[in-house]
Structure 1
């Protein structure tokens, strides 16, 4: 199977947008591990409509004007991985979930480590927001795009940083201190938020066939 890709520059590094037919199959990081997401042969196709639309929506997200994505998705993985990735799509903008909460949501409370492994294999970064999954204590934990980028994305969603300012070279110590507060806020949220019912999976979850 041949996949089409388009490269885009972003505030979190160069991203590789990958399509399978007319659906988005992957968003890969600039320094992604080669075997983290297994794909077939890749050909560059800058004119593929779904990739152009993905870039447009990502730019809106980085500009702070988009909180939800509306893209046709296709995920390749095991049934368990697809369950985890479907759960990622239900995490609202500006909120976080722990690995144990995701395990509970998919009905497998003992699968916390497996959830972590599946989260790390998430092929469609940012759109399927694995950056919103944190440790039970509020620690940011590992992230394929790097912890600095994870903190940046959470800062953006908390309204605490401006990627436009950073693009102009205006990042200062105050901005860096703002990012650092995100980790403290995330910990506080993890420690104080009440138990919740599993959220509805939304329309995109139907793409997983479960």
Structure 2
């Protein structure tokens, strides 16, 4: 199978949008590891409708005018991975979940590590919001797009504008901690979580 791709610039770097037919298959990061998402041969196709629509919706998201995506998706992975990725789609804008909560949602509390591995291989970044999965203590933990971009996305969803959040990226790139800058005061160092993990939704808005 040959995949079609389109490149787009964004506040989190250049993204590669990938389609299989008329469905979105992947959104890859600028510095993505080559084998993180395994796909076949690709050709550039800037006129593919699904890729044009994906770019439009992503731009609206970064501009702060879109909270939910409406795109046909084609997840390619194991059955377990697909369950985890589908669970990601249920995390509302501005909220977070722990790996344990996702494991409970897919029906296997003992699969926390496997959930983490599947989360790390999520092929459709941002749309399937793996950036909304954080450590049980509120730590941001790892992220394929880099912790600076994870912070940017969470900050954007917490009400901080993309331009304000983008100002932090260069400061925190390569740094595993929150930036010690004035802008960082507006971004939660540890996204708010509810006291109970039993089906309770943690929210960056505090509700």
Tell me, yes or no, if the aligned pair for 2:152 and 2:165 is still in contact at 8 Å. Answer: no
Query: Which one has the bigger helix percentage?
Result: 1
- State how far apart, in whole Å, the 2-side matches of 1:162 and 1:67 are: 13
The 3-state SS of whatever aligns with 1:113 is helix
Alignment of 1:91-170 (within 5 A): 91-159=91-159, 161-164=160-163
Q: Which one scores higher on RCO, CA 8 angstroms, separation ≥ 6?
A: 1
1:175 equivalent in structure 2: 183
Give every structure 1 segment of 4 or more consecutive aligned residues whose post-TM-superposition deviation is greater than 4 Å.
Answer: 165-169
Offset of 1:178 from its aligned partner? Answer: 2.0
RMSD of the TM alignment (CA)? 2.1
Per-residue Cα deviation, 1:38-93 (whole angstroms, up to 9, x for no partner):
00001000000000000000000000000000000001100000000000000000
Alignment of 1:77-88 (within 5 A): 77-88=77-88
Offset of 1:153 from its aligned partner? Answer: 0.3
Tell me, yes or no, if the aligned pair for 2:135 and 2:141 is still in contact at 8 Å. Answer: yes
Offset of 1:157 from its aligned partner? Answer: 0.3
- State how far apart, in whole Å, the 2-side matches of 1:28 and 1:13 are: 10
Unaligned runs of 5+ in 1: 199-210
The 3-state SS of whatever aligns with 1:24 is strand
Offset of 1:195 from its aligned partner? Answer: 2.2
Offset of 1:196 from its aligned partner? Answer: 1.6
- State how far apart, in whole Å, the 2-side matches of 1:50 and 1:13 are: 20
Scaled by the length of structure 1, what TM-score is found? 0.86
The 3-state SS of whatever aligns with 1:119 is helix
* Cα 1:103/1:34, change in 2 over 3 Å: same
